[in-house]
A and B are shown apart, each in its own frame.
Chain A
Amino acid sequence: MATTLLLSLLLLLLSPLTFSVPTPTPTPTPTPLVRSTCNATTYYDLCVASLSSDPAAAAARDPTALSSILVSRAAADAANASAAAASLAGAAAAAEPSAAALRACAAKYAAARDALGRALAALAAAEYDYAFVHVGAAAEYPRACRALFRRQAPRLAFPAEIARREDALERLCTDALDIITLLGD
């Protein structure tokens, strides 16, 4: 009986721990508009995931609204990449070649952010051709950052953190371009 009482007490003590594990937030189901629009993109899964994570996508009524959401997301990613590059530059010794390259990368990603900002304005004005050019321009800046490292002699190692952000931003811009291509058709 003492054992049973002890076990009961133990169970009582452990139960808050057992039932306090947070349940993961379910991913919203993509709307039919999100699915059909993302079906025209190169990276379908990325498109769906990026849009589904934004509450505004659920209320979007046309692909233009979805393109704006993706471009906004890309602009935020570009801004974060710029900050990350600047932070890495600050952590490196001032005289190191990588510090100069990282500072230049921070400027490239900032330029990408600005270009995406202009793309948003063009989308708002229904100037889809201009939006296309601005997003296309933004998509090239990450590559220019990588080229800076490649051209150094001896060649500098490209930071994995920036490489990850480069890949993500390029894919997002590609999907944004795919959607903008649909607009005005």
Chain B
Amino acid sequence: MANFIEPLVVGRVIGEVVDLFVPKNTMSVYYGPKHVTNGCDVKPSMSVDPPNIQIAGLRPDLYTLVMTDPDAPSPSDPRMREVVHWIVVDIPGGADLKEGLEVLPYMCPRPLLGIHRYVFILFEQKLPFPVVAPMQSRANFNTRLFAAQYDLGPPVSSVFFNSQREPAYRKH
């Protein structure tokens, strides 16, 4: 367990996004052939489309996935923390994320300044997810509050990657 948690502590995901938790499930995240492991680099051009995510576990357990950026607009001035990129609920255990219900569409990473962390947090639901009111803004989202609001309890898994802006090449 320490091997799983330590990168999240060192990466300050535990502390700035979620509290210390006991991992109870695993998820594998792939952007194309790239397997996302804690602290790995993923270029924005590689993460334009949603990743493939497989969650361990068993049906009829249901899970919620949140993807969030705690470093917006920049790590040195994260006044927009967190910007939420994706919320998928009612994901059956042992299934692909596509079987869940996307309540907030995937928004690909577009880090403008500095190196941003993009964090996936998995929660186990107690019940089927209630209807979520449309979000007015993705900025200043709070994963802890969201989990408390929908009685999700502590996370059961998490993984994060780093991403920074790529140079733009113009034709003219």
Contact = CB atoms under 8 A, between A and B. Distances in A.
Interface of A: 39-40, 42, 44, 108, 111, 118, 129-130, 132-134, 136-137, 139-141, 143-144, 151, 177-178, 181
Contacts of B80: 129-130, 133
Nearest to A107: B134
Interface string B131-172: 000101111000000000000000000000000000010111
Given A40-B170, A151-B98, A132 B110 contact: yes
A137 to B, nearest CB: 5
B72 A129 contact: yes
Contacts of A177: 110
A184 to B, nearest CB: 9
A38 to B, nearest CB: 9
Nearest to B80: A129
A56 B80 CA distance: 31
Given A44-B171, A136-B107, A177-B110, A111 B72 contact: no
Interface of B: 72-73, 79-80, 83, 98, 102, 105-108, 110, 112, 134, 136-139, 168, 170-172
Contacts of B112: 129, 132, 181
Contacts of B137: 118, 130, 133-134
A118 B139 CA distance: 12
Contacts of A136: 107-108, 110
A133 B72 contact: yes
Which of B72, B106, B107, B136 has the most chain A CB atoms inside 10 A of its CB?
B107
B73 to A, nearest CB: 4
29 contacts: A39-B172, A40-B170, A42-B168, A44-B170, A44-B171, A44-B172, A111-B134, A129-B72, A129-B80, A129-B112, A130-B80, A130-B137, A132-B73, A132-B110, A132-B112, A133-B80, A133-B137, A133-B138, A134-B137, A134-B138, A136-B108, A137-B107, A137-B138, A140-B105, A140-B108, A141-B105, A144-B105, A144-B106, A151-B98
A143 B102 CA distance: 13
A44 B80 CA distance: 30
B142 to A, nearest CB: 15
Given A39-B170, A44-B172, A140-B106, A133 B134 contact: no
A46 to B, nearest CB: 13
A133 B69 CA distance: 11
A184 B169 CA distance: 21
A130 B110 contact: no
Given A177-B110, A181-B112, A133 B105 contact: no
A143 B49 CA distance: 9
Contacts of B107: 136-137, 139-140
B91 to A, nearest CB: 14
Contacts of A118: 136-137
A7 B136 CA distance: 72
A106 B58 CA distance: 35
A144 B83 contact: no
Nearest to A111: B134
Given A130-B139, A134-B138, 15 more contacts: A42-B170, A44-B171, A108-B105, A118-B136, A129-B112, A129-B139, A132-B110, A133-B80, A133-B138, A133-B139, A136-B107, A140-B105, A140-B108, A144-B106, A177-B110
